[in-house]
Amino acid sequence: MEMTIQNMQLAQCGSRSAEPYDSDSYLSGVKPIWCPGCGDYSVLTSLTNALAYLQLSPEQVALVSGIGCSSRIPAYTSVYGFHGVHGRALPVATGLKITRPDLTVLVAGGDGDGFSIGGNHFLHACRRNVDLTYIIMDNQVYGMTKGQASPTTAPDWQGSELTPHGTGVNPFQPLVIALASGANFIARCFSGEPANLAEILVQAIQHPGFSVVQILSPCVTFRPEQRQWKNSVRMAESGLDTDIRTAARRLMEDDGMTVGQILYKGKRPAYQPQSASRGDIHKLERGFVL
Amino acid sequence: MSEKPIPNRSLEELFEFARTMELEAARRYTQLSDMMAQHNNSELTDLFKRMADIEWLHVYNVEKARRELDVMEGTPSSYPGFGLNAPEVPDFLSMHYLLRPYHALKLAMQHEERAAIFYTELADSTENDEVRAVALRFAEEEKNHVRELQQWLARYPEPEPGWDDDPDPPNELE
């Protein structure tokens, strides 16, 4: 262990507990390059805190992502990571969980990756209900490609030269779609409330089946007005609707700024085919021979 | 929506909270220092690093006080995200890549003030004399930190409006 001032002071403080993992245990040495003010920093912090609370060893966890600013997150953690193809994080994660049900498989990405390029995978991942936790950092913009409208952008947003009069298109309602398609756990959080987010992530990971956590995560560079989200989000008064009709009404009537609670918790058993096996690698390879 | 004092905490819980808050503040300032390093703001990189070192010293001081008073260790991580919203822990969303030392010190001062208010309110609300005494001691320490930061801040005049103007901004579209 490198003897930094922190380590020396911790050593002087003495051993605190028998718990082997703290939030730092899940961080890699790679420093995030997100913009200062970006909400994704908080998501990383909440996620590492949630994993520390659950005391999952890093080799028991896999984090799969697509492409985009938020999809960089696996590199910043010490768990198994797969930074995949645009929009294809969910099928990769599904395959991983089916073949390695012993792993805790998390999926992360943004609104463009998940709901546009990966939109069809999102629907079917909800239907299949494999035991995954999907963490969507929603900033209503494509940040990495310099600020184009995404599926969740409001129709009148005129911040991009590609849509100077707004998109005029109805924004995607991810949680309504998730509920209608069969997701087993649905929540919306705000990255400005990291303790609440950590708590919801713990519950999402623990709940069997496909869990969807939409996180409002400001892009301060291409949507600087989102700095005001901290004033416009509101904590949900009550959560934990197991009745799908009540949850549907709540989600349909909401303006998308209600955060901090579980909005639906279903009881469907997670999909895990009995026939799934790791198989013989040579047999698998032979299947690809032309 | 930050954490509020809960009346009738035990002395063990109070120390655990104080330690966790200082620890999270140290972690957060370290992260902010790394963030500014990535964006070539060397002044803020150094300043946040110094703030992190100071917070680590506070972690040590809380532990020292706990041992002096012979208080048992509490249970760590009593709930997920424990300490992440604590009064002394700065918020990632307040950051800007062109921040100056003036802004960073103002921010740190606000959080130390919040911590002082937190402990004062806790002392006012508790029925436990020992907890009240320690909470007042912590509140006084936080007020000392505010005074130290005020002296530090005096070396930096408030930046002129337009401090965040960037002739080559990252969101420039060509």
Q: Please report, for chain A, the start and end positions of each structural domain, with discontinuous segments joined by +.
A: 4-11+31-286
pLDDT at A239: 65
pLDDT at A9: 41
pLDDT digits (tens, 9 = 90+) for A126-181: 999 999 999 999 999 999 999 999 999 999 999 998 999 999 999 999 999 999 99
pLDDT digits (tens, 9 = 90+) for B99-154: 999 999 999 999 999 999 999 999 999 999 999 999 999 999 999 999 999 999 99
Q: How does residue A52 score in pLDDT terms, banded at 50, 70 and 90?
A: very high
Residue A61 reports pLDDT greater than 80: yes
| Domains recognised in chain B with CATH numbers | 11-153 (1.20.1260.10)
Query: Which string of DSSP letters, residue by residue, matches A213-254?
Result: EEEE---TTT-GGGGGHHHH-EE-S------HHHHHHHHHH-
Asked if B81 and A227 come within 8 Å (Cβ–Cβ), the reply is: no
* Cα–Cα nearest to A64, from A45, A40, A38, A90: A90
Best of B171, B172, B173 to substitute, by most chain A Cβ atoms within 10 angstroms, is B171
On whether any CB of chain B is under 8 Å from the CB of A216, the answer is no
How many angstroms separate the CA of residue A124 from the nearest CA in chain B? 30
How many angstroms separate the CA of residue A4 from the nearest CA in chain B? 10
Residue A274 reports pLDDT greater than 80: no
On whether any CB of chain B is under 8 Å from the CB of A148, the answer is no
Asked if B93 and A37 come within 8 Å (Cβ–Cβ), the reply is: yes
Which positions 127-146 of A are in contact with B (Cβ < 8 Å)? 146
Rounded CA gap, A109 and A63, in Å? 10
Residue A114 reports pLDDT greater than 80: yes
pLDDT at B5: 57
Residue B74 reports pLDDT greater than 80: no
Rounded CA gap, A244 and A184, in Å? 10
Please state, rounded to an integer, the average pLDDT across all residues of chain B.
92
pLDDT at A165: 96
pTM for this one?
A: 0.92
* Cα–Cα nearest to B124, from B1, B6, B19, B17: B6
Measured between CB atoms, which of B81, B84, B93 is closest to A230?
A: B93
Measured between CB atoms, which of A6, A19, A195 is closest to B84?
A: A195
pLDDT at B171: 77
Q: Which residue has the higher pLDDT, B5 or B69?
A: B69
Best of B27, B57, B92 to substitute, by most chain A Cβ atoms within 10 angstroms, is B92
Residue B2 reports pLDDT greater than 80: no
Here the tokens at position A17 are: 């507990």
A145 φ/ψ angles, rounded to the nearest 5 degrees: -100, 20
pLDDT at A3: 34
pLDDT at B76: 64
Residue A6 reports pLDDT greater than 50: no
Span B59-87, mean pLDDT? 88
Span A103-125, mean pLDDT? 97
Q: How does residue A217 score in pLDDT terms, banded at 50, 70 and 90?
A: very high
* Cα–Cα nearest to B147, from B95, B119, B112: B112
pLDDT at A282: 81
Question: Which residues of A are less than 8 Å from B77 in CB distance?
Answer: 19, 52-53
Q: What is the ipTM of this complex?
A: 0.93
Span A275-287, mean pLDDT? 73
CB contacts < 8 A (A, B): 118
Which CATH fold would you assign to the domain A4-11+31-286? Rossmann fold (3.40.50)
pLDDT at A7: 41
Asked if B27 and A24 come within 8 Å (Cβ–Cβ), the reply is: yes
State the DSSP code for B127.
Answer: -
Asked if A53 and B26 come within 8 Å (Cβ–Cβ), the reply is: no
